[in-house]
Amino acid sequence: MRKNISLPSLTQKRSQSPSAKMMGDESGTYTVDDALAVVGFGKFQILVLAYAGMGWISEAMEMMLLSFVGPALQSAWNLSSREQSMITSVVFAGMLVGAYSWGVVSDKHGRRKGFLITAMVTSVAGMLSALAPNYSCLIILRCIVGVGLGGGPVLSSWFLEFIPAPSRGTWMVVFSAFWTIGTVLEASVAWFVMPTLGWRWLLAFSSFPSSLLLLFYRVVPESPRYLCLKGRTSEALRILEKVAKTNGKSLPPGTLISDHEIELNSKSMEPEGAHLLSESDEKPEIIDHNKSKSKSKSKVSTFGMLLSPELRKPTLLLWVVFFGNAFSYYGLVLLTTELHNGANNCRPMRSQSQGSEEVSYKDVFITSFAEFPGLIISAFTIDKLGRKGSMATMFFLCCIFLLPLTFHQPQALTTFLLFMARICITTTFTVVYIFAPEASQIYPTSVRTTGVGVGSSVGRIGGMICPLVAVGLIHGCHQTAAILLFEFVIFSSGVCVLLFPFETSGRELTDSTTTTTLEVG
């Protein structure tokens, strides 16, 4: 799904950098983070950003086209509103499967192989979608496209693993801009292609950016962080030397070691298991007995810990925020097309028209530009108002802009209101993927990544459900009910943001639930 960037592990590792530097001073060693901090952000990272950005543009285009293809297919194949909704929902279902699958593949076989396979799946299935002979084939192929799109976080993580730690927050916002470029590009392509060439050509053109990833794949390096974690430090060193040479810098003196080695060193100096459980929850017998049983128990306890009495409230609040963001963002994208669709016979003073040509592509194109001011606002408010303040403000403003749409409005006013609502929801969507990794500090280290990952999955469920509202209710002449449901979800998300126990900006990571409880209480 959109902007699902794996920052917790990166932030966590960076929190170890002082010890890494101490080790570097004492024994002539340095880590990947130390090397990247010395060589800085330069020409090499610009090339990496361009490649990863193309993948982000590809994902944005594949997601945006759903709002154009649905109305066209409803007319061409005489689909019901439920069948039209399924074209979007199956993509999110595929993403739910792909997000887990490609994460496992990239952790086991490398980032390069992970996004190579995802790019192949996305481009091939996307191109075949343009040739789909019937509805059933299209649904299967779009689901496969969703599986490929689920690997988007692999590419974004690969990009971030080349960025010096002090610059990661800034470049994450810059990286998010590629999604906006993709949405605007797709709207412009649809404006020119749909009225003349039709939906099949739109699907074909939209799969082109994924093909570009395959074209330049051979020159793409593996993540040096991944190589170090796998013990392949000599390969990681060669890549870091290439980064330094391209940027016109030199690597720090000494020997490259992995963060994992430092972690093992630091763990050997701590009481065993102290960082995983609080004193009241420690169970030494799990460590001392059958290892296979303890592993299966730990997997259950990892998820169970998210809903433990101390963590239940922040976990559920974070899930609602993820759900509300995905439901609202993708819902507004689909709603924009539906409310500008002349084929909608529920609109007063309008006769039912013929087909998808009546979709106002110009208005949809204008609305998609709302993402640019949304990014700018998020950059300015995220520190001044804080993560909670900026998200809550934008959620509530979004409710205000949507409220007049409970009744039919003139097209110009509808476009303006959707434009302003899109600005608000783009801001919250950008901030939530900075807020979530920081909010995960309330979790112990052992479940931090799981906490954000499960929340992101809940967001994808929101994406699966939103077409039933944005398409189904509008087609059933229930515009008021549809907008009121959006109002409820968005308002609830804003309230949940305010109820979150603390502001996340500038806080340190914690390693146990007891520490977090003391800080919050």
Please provide residue 256's backbone torsions phi and psi, each rounded to the nearest 5 degrees. -75, 130
| Structure-block tokens of residue 107 | 């952790």
| Residue at 1: amino acid letter | M
Q: pLDDT value at position 30?
A: 74
Three-class SS string for 31-54?
Answer: CHHHHHHHHCCCHHHHHHHHHHHH
Is 211 in contact with 123 (CB distance < 8 Å)? yes
User: Can you read off the two tokens belonging to residue 478?
Assistant: 């229930």
User: Which residues make beta-bridge pairs with 341?
Assistant: 359
Helix, strand, or coil (residue 408): coil
Kindly state the tokens that stand for 78: 């005489």
Task: Find how far residue 406's CA is from the centre of its chain.
Answer: 30
Residue 112 burial (CB count, 10 A): 18
- Would you state the pLDDT for residue 365? 80
- Taking each helix axis from N to C end, the angle separating 411-439 and 312-339, rounded to the nearest 10 degrees, works out to 160
List beta partners, residue 256. 30
* CA proximity to 279, closest of 288, 267, 271: 271
d(CA 72, CA 469): 18
Cα distances from 452 to residues 270, 316, 449, in angstroms, run 27, 12, 5
Number of Cβ within a 10 Å radius of residue 23: 21
d(CA 374, CA 53): 18
Q: What torsion, rounded to 10 degrees, do the Cα atoms 272, 274, 279, 282 define?
A: -50
pLDDT under 70 in the chain at which residues? 1-27, 103, 167-169, 258-303, 340-360, 436-453, 502-521
- Give the Cα separation of 59 and 214 in Å (integer): 14
- Phi, psi for 30 (deg, rounded to 5): -150, 160
Q: Letter for the amino acid at 471?
A: V
DSSP string, 238-252: HHHHHHHHHHT--PP
For residues 459 and 314, what is the distance between their CA atoms, to the nearest angstrom? 16
Token representation of residue 108? 């086991």
Side-chain-side CA neighbours of residue 43 (13 Å): 8
Helix (H, G, I), strand (E, B) or coil at 449: helix
Q: Which helix (H) or strand (E) holds 477?
A: none
Q: To which residue do tokens 């929850």 refer?
A: 281
How far is residue 7 from each of residues 165, 228, 259, 319, 471, measured CA to CA in Å? 11, 18, 16, 17, 34
**Residues 17 and 33 sit within 8 Å (Cβ to Cβ):** yes
At 516 the pLDDT is: 39
Q: What was the pLDDT predicted at 502?
A: 66
pTM (predicted TM-score): 0.72
Torsion of CA 370, 145, 172, 12, to 10 degrees: 140
> What is the pLDDT at residue 491?
94
DSSP for 268-326 reads HTS-TTTTTS-GGG--HHHHHS-HHHHHHHHHHHHHHHHTSTTTHHHHHHHHHHHHHHH
Question: Which residues, in sequence order, are CB contacts of 194 under 8 Å at separation 6+?
Answer: 68, 72, 202, 356, 357, 359, 361
Pairwise CA distance, residues 440 & 445, whole Å = 9
At 36, which amino acid appears? L
